[in-house]
């Protein structure tokens, strides 16, 4: 017999995206391939004159540490670290404005 899953206690990773802005060449692969639409192009530029990716405001908890951005970056400018986990209850409680409309 299968047991029911308690979604309130399930946890998922929170990814922390680190960008080496000096290595970025503004290819935008990370932005295009992010399944949760977490990244956007910065308004600032690096010393080469390229825009680099930043986490969109309010999307800090959206990264699930899939590392897709890290894998598609041809310049190895992105590292994703997953050290924390969040319960779905806490996630939806924190972001209830985004999911209630």
CATH number belonging to the domain at 12-100, selected among 3.30.260.10, 3.30.70.20, 3.30.420.40, 1.10.10.10: 3.30.70.20
Q: What is the Cα–Cα distance from 46 to 39, expressed in whole angstroms?
A: 17
Note the pTM of the prediction, 2 decimals. Answer: 0.77
**Domain limits, the chain:** 12-100
Residue 22 token pair:
């000096």
* pLDDT at residue 2 tops 90: no
Q: Do the beta carbons of residue 68 and residue 85 sit within 8 Å?
A: no
pLDDT tens track for 8-67 = 777 888 999 999 999 999 999 999 999 999 999 999 999 999 999 999 999 999 999 999
Q: What is the Cα–Cα distance from 25 to 45, expressed in whole angstroms?
A: 10
Dihedral angle sign, alpha carbons of residues 99, 52, 83, 70 = positive
Q: What are phi and psi of 38, to 5 degrees?
A: -85, -30
């Amino acid at each position: 017999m299968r047991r029911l899953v308690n979604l309130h206690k399930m946890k998922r990773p929170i990814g922390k995206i680190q960008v080496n802005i000096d290595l970025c060449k503004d290819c935008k692969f990370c932005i295009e391939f992010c399944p949760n639409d977490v990244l956007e192009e910065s308004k600032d530029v690096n010393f080469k004159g390229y825009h680099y990716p930043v986490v969109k405001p309010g999307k800090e908890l959206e990264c699930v540490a899939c590392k897709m951005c890290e894998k598609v970056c041809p310049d190895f400018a992105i590292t994703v670290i997953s050290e924390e986990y969040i319960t779905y209850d806490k996630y939806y409680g924190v972001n209830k404005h985004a999911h209630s409309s």
